[in-house]
Chains A and B, each alone.
Chain A
């Protein structure tokens, strides 16, 4: 009736310098700033109902809060956003410097995290994991957790001990 323990494998690999930008601004305060930023992004901002969106150039926009956004593989967006935010109430920076990415896969992932998953396919959620605040991005059967750099060693140990997870070489 209950899944046998042995078949629920979880694999993970760690990337310590993910290409990520962060953007902090209030989209409702300064419409000119909002226009400038959405022009750079060439996409509408993600929102709680659509927390993750693939942007025209291939970057992934992730909602972290009404004023907080994460951008996966920003490429040239990062300097363009810095420029758009110059002199304004906007902060742009390299989030990858402060985060580590854990990519989880295997049949055990769904069994343990499905209750948290906001939908099928590509979706994201900022949530509590191993007593920490993490940003999770689901793609089909894998999930990527962005964890604060200082906590990465703890999360790695946690996965090995608590989930019997198997670590794979970094991608």
Chain B
């Protein structure tokens, strides 16, 4: 049971949250100018790192806000949480 630090509410148990997949997947637009490859990459082709992953969580049983977390996919340790409009704290693009 992870302990997740909601940027607004503070640390809470994992069962107050719902995971929302990878973070920083920019939505290509406008649709008429997006190539099929770029659209497919947006929908389906994401990295699957053994190591630090930036992902999305929503505090469904609390403030209902979305935020991002850096989590190590090997140790499950959450290294940081940050607001969706904030840059990634480890400086990775």
Direct contact of A and B (CB under 8 A): yes
A: residues with CB less than 8 A from B are: 48, 64-66, 68, 125-128, 132-133
B: residues with CB less than 8 A from A are: 8-10, 12-13, 15-16, 60-65
Residues of A within 8 A of B10 (CB): 48
Cross-chain contact B16 with A64 (CB below 8 angstroms): no
Cross-chain contact B61 with A64 (CB below 8 angstroms): no
Cross-chain contact A128 with B9 (CB below 8 angstroms): no
Residues of B within 8 A of A133 (CB): 60-62
Cross-chain contact B8 with A66 (CB below 8 angstroms): yes
Residues of B within 8 A of A128 (CB): 13, 15-16, 61-62
- The complex places the Cα of A128 from the Cα of B61 at a distance, in Å, of 5
Residues of A within 8 A of B63 (CB): 64-66, 68, 126
Decide if the interface of chain B is mainly helix, strand, loop or mixed: loop
The distance from the CB of A18 to the nearest CB of chain B, in whole angstroms, is 21
- The complex places the Cα of A68 from the Cα of B9 at a distance, in Å, of 13
* Shortest Cβ distance from A49 into B: residue: B10
Residues of B within 8 A of A68 (CB): 63-64
Cross-chain contact B9 with A126 (CB below 8 angstroms): yes
Known contacts: A65-B63, A66-B63, A133-B62. The answer to whether A48 contacts B16 by CB under 8 A is no
Cross-chain contact B65 with A127 (CB below 8 angstroms): no
* Shortest Cβ distance from A135 into B: residue: B62
* Shortest Cβ distance from B17 into A: residue: A128
- The complex places the Cα of A107 from the Cα of B8 at a distance, in Å, of 31
- The complex places the Cα of A125 from the Cα of B60 at a distance, in Å, of 13
- The complex places the Cα of A125 from the Cα of B8 at a distance, in Å, of 12
Residues of B within 8 A of A132 (CB): 61
Among candidates B12, B16, B65, residue contacting A66 with C-beta atoms closer than 8 Å: B65
